Chains A and B, each alone.
Chain A
Amino acid sequence: MKNVTFGIVLTLLLLGCTEQSDWVKAQSAIIYCSESDPVTFNPQLDTGATTSDATAHQIYSRLLDFDPETGQIVPALASSWSISNDGLVYIFQLRKDVNFHMTRYFTPSRTFNADDVIFSFNRWRDPAHPYHRVSGGQYPYFDSLGLADNIEDIKRINGYRIEIHLKQRDSSFIAHLATDFSVILSAEYGDHLLSQNKPEKIDRFPIGTGPFKFVSYQRGQAIRYRAHAGYWGQTQTADTLIFDITQKSSLRMAKLITGECDAIAFPSQSELSVIRERADLTLTQQPALNIGFWAFNTQKPPFDNPDVRRALAYAIDKNTLLETVYLGNATRAKTLVPSASWAFHESSHDTAYNPVLSRQLLDRAKIPRGFTMTIWAMPVERSYNPNARKMAELLQQYLADVGINAQIITYDWNTFREKLGKGEHQSVLIGWSADNGDPDNFYRPLLSCDAIPSGTNRAMWCNEEYDRLIYSALQTDDVEARQAIYEDVNELLYENLPLIPIAHALRYQVYRNELKGLRINPYGGVRFAGVIKAQ
């Protein structure tokens, strides 16, 4: 009897030893506290910073990249490129031996080649492409720029060489290929999913060539990634990357302090002073290419009247907003572009705080006292506006002083953007972070007619003269000529005021001292390649 029992126990023990573990504790992991759920796992489909942060530099690579230090365009999946003299043909030589991710839902059988580039571009460019309508068929960045209309053709010269033919010269075209949104997908994966009749999985269970591969996503909780062993960039990376989705910025900071997060997204201005005082946290900052503004829905009366918009601009004191909301960590905005951009003009006009004049203009425009309007305030922090709610409360006060009753409206971030896209707002506090150093990246997506259906033109403003001017600025490479054109554009904007520029904010990266290699990327989402955690 005893022997039998002993035998059984021994067998069980042995069985326990030989069985695989269900899970292991993640080694050399980095936990990043992000502020919201990504809308999708393909940045082609969304311009939001959350989606970019989660996917653009983690899961995917692009043909070209921006060097975060210098802003120069550097090779990525394209090892070299050349442009024809007339500026209409771009030739790209592609990198060899680039591996796609191997995950539990897909195993690639070949390395990256020209077919993948053509697949990725044609998806948003060609309405007849089998994947064009998948996951909604909206490609906001490309749609707002009208890029698809300008590309004549993309030719495959051989397995590692492609040519892009443009219809019209566009000096900013090359910059667009280096933005977060121009990612390269796997054509093989696309075909595989089509054969299984599950094409939408391409944006939910992504495959790319980036430093991390997708493992799992729990909505509202976390996104998990593992390091991609065959990454072409070959930097030393953490084994596991986890995005801990935490919507309140104070909670993110608290988690940073306790060590539950190694780095956080979008610290709010009031937290920066706390972070500066703590010795175990690192704060890096850089002047950024962004703008926070108050946009009016110019399709809804009375906001279609530029005098009303001007009156509202006179009603507010921008300096107070800068101090209270940005706590001095921003510069006052006169035009769309900040001083860091070459299109900036010191002499541009700006509105001043003049409540008396404001009331006069309102009376002239027949806006009675007690008129109600809504101010939509973002629920999330962004570098261009760390606390839209607070700013809205301040605006409420200023407007009350000129006899206008303002109501503050907000929703959770994705619902908010959805409703904004439908034009349900009367005015909104929001902003824009540039994706590249070209000033066109401010002027076109924010206020051009094309940008209304794609959702980035929050003022719903369409002005022929404006569109004509900014397109003409793309026809020449001469910087001085372009500067002169943008000066005219600024004057036009000052006369019409579809939006009131408020501030250009500094951009911050906050993390624990143990993280090495994390740098601010002024041209796009956060990058975790090459970041390791010292033990």
Chain B
Amino acid sequence: MPRLNLYQEEFHPSPWQQTWLAFKASHIALAGLMVLASISLLALLAPVIAPHSPLLQNPDVLLLPPVWDPSGSLTYLLGTDALGRDIFSRLLYAARTTLITSVIVVVVAMLIGVTIGAIAGMLRGVSSSVVNHLLDSLMAIPTLLIAIVIVAIMGSGLVNSMWAITLALIPQFVHYTRNYVGEEMKKDYIRASQLDGSTKRQLFFYSILPNMLEMLVVQGTLALSIAVLDISALGFLNLGAHPPSVELGALLASSIDIAYLAPWNVMLPGLCIFFLVLSINIVGDGLRSAIRKRVKN
């Protein structure tokens, strides 16, 4: 007797769904995603959640320790800083600033980088080689140096540091897009489309781009973790956001002076950056493994 097939149709998950299923299978990756989602949610909802204004100075409660310390209080969950500002609220707003600016930086860098990379990838001949080498050497300049130059020309500030990091991230996207497009151009299905008479633009948007999205997502998460680290590093060096706006790295820098008196002032922003970057990295890792598993099968 033939086996009863209860299913009317077979379930063929799309590549995206395959990736998601493989991603879900890893507990760690999922945990990372949960952490990332919760941090992002908390950060984005900062104006709603934060119990106090991050700028409100209350001279009566200077350097209050966090709530788990005997002298802490519930009104100031994570304690206060040297000017009497609530650390919890400041952390939320700072995380918000860091996260939003990092995402913007990555998106802009991706758009510009992919455009340049696509054009470079579809070029041929000597010009391609020259462009390739030039771009490769551009990739070699550290973010910090670019940031210093931009800050020197335009002054310090959050927006200027964002420009610096965008400029630093673009070469990476260019490099990977160029490689990918270069590889794809050699493949048969592109040939087929070309024979069909599609223009370069149509080739890119309809044939290459959909395949590239996965690579872009992975590169994007990588770039996001770099962006968060770089933005907080620039804030730490006082080249980025300055008062009254709050940013995680700048928060850390302003607390160094009282690191001995109030170590939580220094530990907490750092912990926040760490968890943010860690969760982004874990998610990125998980995505990469998931894609690899899908490609293997």
Q: Which residues of A contact B (CB under 8 A)?
A: 248-250, 253-254, 257, 268, 270-271, 273-274, 320, 323-324, 390, 393-394, 397, 408
| 10 nearest A-B residue pairs (beta carbon) | A250-B257, A320-B59, A324-B59, A274-B260, A270-B258, A270-B261, A250-B256, A397-B57, A274-B261, A323-B59
Enumerate chain A residues within 8 angstroms of B62, measured Cβ to Cβ: 323-324
Give the secondary structure class of B's interface: loop
Alpha-carbon distance between A397 and B259 when the two chains are bound, in angstroms: 25
Contacts of A397 in B (CB 8 A): 57
Partner of A270, one of B57, B82, B243: B82
Closest to A397 in B: B57
- A to B CB contacts below 8 Å, 29 in the list: A248-B257, A250-B257, A250-B258, A250-B260, A253-B260, A257-B260, A270-B63, A270-B257, A270-B258, A270-B261, A271-B260, A271-B261, A274-B260, A274-B261, A320-B59, A323-B59, A324-B59, A324-B62, A324-B83, A324-B84, A390-B82, A390-B83, A393-B57, A393-B83, A393-B243, A394-B57, A394-B83, A397-B57, A408-B243
Residues of B45-75 whose CB lies within 8 A of A: 57, 59, 62-63
Contacts of A273 in B (CB 8 A): 261
CB-defined contacts of B260 to chain A, threshold 8 Å: 250, 253-254, 257, 271, 274
Looking at the assembled complex, report how far the CB atom of B207 sits from the nearest CB atom of chain A, in whole angstroms.
Answer: 54
B259 contacts which of A250, A324, A393 (Cβ < 8 Å)?
Answer: A250
| Neighbouring B residues of A270 by C-beta, 8 Å | 63, 82, 257-258, 261
Q: How far apart are the CA atoms of A274 and B263 in the complex, in Å?
A: 12
- What are the residues of chain A within 8 A of B82 when measuring CB–CB? 270, 390
Give the Cβ gap from B65 to chain A, nearest Cβ, in Å. 14
Given A393-B83, A394-B83, does the pair A268, B257 have CB atoms closer than 8 Å?
yes
CB A101 to nearest CB in B, in angstroms, measures: 38
Q: CB-CB < 8 A to B256: which residues of A?
A: 250
- Residues on B facing A (Cβ under 8 Å): 57, 59, 62-63, 82-84, 243, 256-261
Chain B residues contacting A249 (CB-CB under 8 Å) are: 257
**In the bound complex, how far is the Cα of B258 from the Cα of A390, in angstroms?**
13
Question: Which residues of the partner chain B approach A248 to less than 8 Å between Cβ atoms?
Answer: 257
B60 to chain A, nearest CB (A): 9
Closest to A249 in B: B257
CA distance A320 to B257 in the complex (A): 21
Closest to B60 in A: A323
Residues on the A chain within 8 Å of B257, using CB: 248-250, 268, 270
How far is it, in angstroms, between the C-alpha of A253 and the C-alpha of B256 when the chains are bound? 12
Q: With both chains docked as a complex, state the minimum distance between the C-beta of A502 and any C-beta of chain B, in angstroms.
A: 15
A250: chain B residues at CB < 8 Å are 256-260
Q: How far is the CB of B82 from chain A (nearest CB, A)?
A: 7
Nearest CB in chain B: distance from A274 CB, A = 5
A212 and B82 alpha carbons, distance in the complex (Å): 40
On chain A, the residues within 8 Å of B63 by CB distance are 270
Point out the residues of chain A lying under 8 angstroms from B261, CB to CB: 270-271, 273-274
Question: Using Cβ atoms and an 8 Å threshold, which residues of chain A touch B83?
Answer: 324, 390, 393-394
Closest approach, in angstroms, between the C-beta of A275 and any C-beta of chain B?
Answer: 10
Specify which chain A residues have a CB less than 8 angstroms from the CB of B59 in the assembled complex: 320, 323-324
Contacts of A320 in B (CB 8 A): 59
- Rounded to whole angstroms, the CA-CA distance of A394 and B243 in the bound complex is 12
Residues of B within 8 A of A408 (CB): 243
**Which chain A positions have C-beta within 8 A of B57?**
393-394, 397
Q: How far is the CA of A253 from the CA of B258 in the complex (A)?
A: 11
Min CB distance A48 to B, Å, is 23
CA distance A249 to B261 in the complex (A): 14
B239 to chain A, nearest CB (A): 15
Chain A residue nearest to B62 in the complex (CB): A324
**With contacts A250-B257, A270-B261, A324-B83 known, what are 7 further pairs, Cβ within 8 A?**
A248-B257, A250-B256, A270-B258, A271-B261, A324-B62, A393-B83, A394-B83
Residues of B within 8 Å of A268, CB to CB, are 257
Bound CA span A320–B61, Å: 12
Write the nearest CB–CB distance from B226 to chain A, whole angstroms.
Answer: 28
Closest partner residue, chain A, to B242 (CB atom): A408
**Which residues of chain B are near A254, meaning CB under 8 Å?**
260
Q: From residue B80, how far is it (CB to closest CB) to chain A in Å?
A: 12
In the complex, A273→B59 CA distance in Å?
A: 18
Interchain nearest-CB distance for A318 vs B (Å): 12
Report the bound CA distance from A397 to B57 in whole Å: 8
Least distance between A497 CB and chain B CB atoms (Å):
24
- In the assembled complex, the Cα of A273 lies from the Cα of B261 at a distance in Å of 8
Give, as a whole number of angstroms, the nearest-CB distance from B123 to chain A.
49
Which residues of chain B are within 8 angstroms of A324 by Cβ–Cβ distance? Answer: 59, 62, 83-84
Cα-based distance from A324 to B59 in the complex (angstroms): 6
CA distance A324 to B85 in the complex (A): 12
CA distance A123 to B145 in the complex (A): 47
Identify the closest chain B residue to A257 (Cβ): B260
